[in-house]
Amino acid sequence: MKQGAQGSAETGVPGFPGVPADAVRVPPQARAADVNREWGAAVPGAARGEHTHSETPIPRPRPAIQRSSVRGQILDALRTALVAGELRPGEVYSAPALGERFGVSATPVREAMQQLALEGAVEVVPNRGFRVVERGMRELAELAEIRALIEVPVMMRLACTVPVERWAEMRPLAEATVRAASSGCPATYAESDRAFHRAVLALSGNEQLVQIAEDLHRRAQWPLVGAPASRKRAELVADAAEHAALLDALIARDLDVVRSLAGEHFTGAR
């Protein structure tokens, strides 16, 4: 990102080259008069505490609803920055400083960071902010093993039960991962990658499984200590090609190839 939150999608958010500026659209901070107006207190009589003898104003949606929307946008932007390597392992980031970069107050940033702390991406540093968790290859290997234990058996079962036409419908998602990989943007590819796996697992009809696998997948995409800030384009393209090959095997009902490709995919997954 080159410019502030007021910039265009091409300029981006300062300090976050991997975060599109339009990922965070923040409404202006409400002034006291604006807040009063939301609840009818801007009526001249009501403002002085007098009875207006008129019908009771119907309050509009509370500002908290708007804030929740901002928090969600900030959370998405922070996740993107994390995958893109803009939030570096071991570094401490304060909510006020990040708020300035995104053009919002510290509150929605702090709430979003607390969610990332629950997910294990960052840890709270009292009186300082949030430190991005330092992870190594061992943790990545452990995540890959768990994902394989969960997803491979499900894929094998689905390969025997899902109609070929349903697999054919997945082709646009597989092609989307290839396009995302070709862009060279790790954050864009990460989102497309999760979408493909999520759609495959959704065919199982097990929502809990889909949620657990999604969480593991997201964690596997976090940056590693000592590794490049982001994956190279060639790595992304190779990973995306495995999606297309896996889909071909599922359509052909070639169980041996499905098992082999799925196992290899998770072994090198990030």
pLDDT along the chain (270 residues), means of 10: 41 54 46 38 40 46 54 92 90 94 93 94 94 91 93 94 94 95 91 96 96 93 74 88 94 92 76
Q: For 213-251, how does the pLDDT look when each residue is reduced to its tens digit (9 = 90+)?
A: 999 999 998 888 776 656 788 889 999 999 999 999 999
Say if domain 137-267 classifies as CATH 1.20.1290.10. no
Give the pLDDT confidence score for residue 35 in this predicted structure: 33
Q: Quick one: fold of 21-132? A: Arc Repressor Mutant, subunit A (1.10.10)
Q: What is the pTM of this model?
A: 0.69
Q: For 61-82, how does the pLDDT look when each residue is reduced to its tens digit (9 = 90+)?
A: 444 434 558 889 999 999 999 9
Give the pLDDT confidence score for residue 19 in this predicted structure: 53
In the chain, domain spans: 21-132, 137-267
Write the DSSP assignment of the chain as a string of letters. --S-TTS-TTT-BTTBTTS-GGG---PPPPPHHHHHHHTTTTSHHHHTT----SPPPPPPPPHHHHHHHHHHHHHHHHHHHHHTTSS-TT-EE-HHHHHHHHTS-HHHHHHHHHHHHHHTSEEEETTTEEEEPP--HHHHHHHHHHHHHHHHHHHHHHHHHS-HHHHHTTHHHHHHHHHHHHHT-HHHHHHHHHHHHHHHHHTTT-HHHHHHHHHHHHHHTS--TTS-SS--HHHHHHHHHHHHHHHHHHHHT-HHHHHHHHHHHHHT--
Domains 21-132 and 137-267 share a fold: no
